[in-house]
């Protein structure tokens, strides 16, 4: 099956700096790549997603890039704020709603 690796596992940045989280996947058939944010004790919430026919997608301070050849995708958060502190998960899907998740990145934004 698909294997998704996510790095780094922890990330600390100063408020206002950028944060980048990277994921790689193993199955070239994967065609949908969502990113979820999970605050402590809360449910995962979708923050951005990208499909395999698109190389980049942006939503305000958040962007995702996809490199199908290298089989990796990245989350970019610019002008980070303390409320961006959370655990971020990447995921990949080959078929249906069966998502393979990365192991998560704990992001801390230091005021």
Partner 1 sequence: KAGVTQTPRYLIKTRGQQVTLSCSPISGHRSVSWYQQTPGQGLQFLFEYFSETQRNKGNFPGRFSGRQFSNSRSEMNVSTLELGDSALYLCASSLRTGVNIQYFGAGTRLSVL
25 within 8 A of 4, measured Cβ to Cβ:
yes
For partner 1 (CB under 8 A), the number of binding residues is 25
Among 19, 25, 35, 44, binds partner 1 (CB under 8 A): 44
Instruction: Please tell me whether residue 54 binds partner 1 under the rule CB under 8 A.
Output: no
Minimum distance of partner 1 from residue 17's CB (angstroms) = 26
- Which of 83, 100, 102 minimizes the C-alpha distance to 15? 83
- Which of 55, 99, 46 minimizes the C-alpha distance to 73? 55
Say which DSSP state 8 is in: -
Q: Which positions touch partner 1 (CB under 8 A)?
A: 1, 31-32, 34, 36, 42-46, 49, 51, 89, 91, 93, 95-104
């Amino acid at each position: 099956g698909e294997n998704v690796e996510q790095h780094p596992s922890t990330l600390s940045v100063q408020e206002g700096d950028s944060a980048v989280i990277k994921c790689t996947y193993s199955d070239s058939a994967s065609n949908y790549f969502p990113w979820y944010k999970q605050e402590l004790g809360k449910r995962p919430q979708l923050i951005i997603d990208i499909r395999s026919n698109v190389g980049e997608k942006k939503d305000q301070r958040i962007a995702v890039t996809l490199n199908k050849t290298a089989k990796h995708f990245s989350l970019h958060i610019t002008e980070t704020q303390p409320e961006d502190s959370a655990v971020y998960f990447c995921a990949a899907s080959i078929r249906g709603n069966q998502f393979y998740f990365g192991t998560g990145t704990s992001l801390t934004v230091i005021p």
